[in-house]
Amino acid sequence: MESTMVCRDRHGLINASFFPIWACFQCYLHLFPEKQTIFSTSSDILGTEEFEEPLPSISVFWDKQETLCSSLNDRNCQRLTACCQAAEECCNNQIKASTLSRLMPNKHSSCPMTWDGYACFPSTPAGHVAEVACPSYISDRTSESGVASKQCTENSSWWRSRPLDMEWTDYTKCVSIEAYYVIYYASIVCSIGSLICLVPACIIFLSVKQLRKQHRIHIHLNLFVSFTLTNCVWLTWDHLIFKDRLENPREVAIMHQHIIGCRVLYMMSRFSWTCNIAWMSLEGFHLHRLISQAFQTPKTISSYYFIGWVFPLLPTGIYALVRFLASNQGCWVSHAGYYEWIIYSPNILCIL
Listing DSSP states for 104-134 in one string gives S---S-EEPPEE-SS-EE--EETT-EEEEEP
pLDDT at 80 over 70: yes
Computed over every residue of the chain, the mean pLDDT equals 84
pLDDT at 327 over 50: yes
Among residues 63, 56, 107, the alpha carbon closest in space to that of 84 is found at 63
| pLDDT of 35 | 66
CATH number of 183-351: 1.20.1070.10
Contact criterion met (CB below 8 Å) for 138 and 175: yes
> Which range scores top for mean pLDDT: 138-147, 235-244, 321-330?
235-244
| pLDDT of 50 | 36
Contact criterion met (CB below 8 Å) for 277 and 318: no
Same fold, 6-167 and 183-351: no
Q: What's the CATH class of domain 6-167?
A: few secondary structures
Cα dihedral 11, 14, 18, 22 in deg (nearest 10): 0
In angstroms, the CA 78 to CA 335 distance is 14
Weakest-pLDDT range from 165-169, 195-199, 273-277: 165-169
Sign of the dihedral through C-alpha 337, 343, 349, 352: negative
Looking at beta carbons, which pairs linking 337-345 to residues 24 or more positions away fall under 8 Å?
337/73, 337/74, 337/75, 338/73, 342/315, 342/318, 343/270, 343/273, 343/274, 343/315, 343/316, 343/319, 345/315
In angstroms, the CA 15 to CA 22 distance is 10
State the average pLDDT over residues 56-84: 70
**So where are the chain's domains?**
6-167, 183-351
In angstroms, the CA 144 to CA 129 distance is 20
The SS3 call for residue 55 is coil
In angstroms, the CA 303 to CA 87 distance is 58
| pLDDT of 142 | 64
Count the Cβ atoms, other than its own, within 10 Å of residue 4: 10
Among residues 262, 206, 207, 205, the alpha carbon closest in space to that of 237 is found at 262
In angstroms, the CA 86 to CA 65 distance is 14
250-294 pLDDT, tens digit per residue, is 778 899 888 999 999 999 999 999 999 999 999 999 888 888 877
pLDDT at 106 over 60: no
* Type of residue found at 229: L
Q: What percent of the chain has pLDDT over 90?
A: 47
Among residues 232, 234, 207, 236, the alpha carbon closest in space to that of 221 is found at 207
Which pTM value belongs to this model?
A: 0.73
pLDDT at 102 over 90: no
Cα dihedral 18, 21, 25, 28 in deg (nearest 10): 150
| pLDDT of 109 | 83
Among residues 292, 291, 195, 175, the alpha carbon closest in space to that of 236 is found at 195
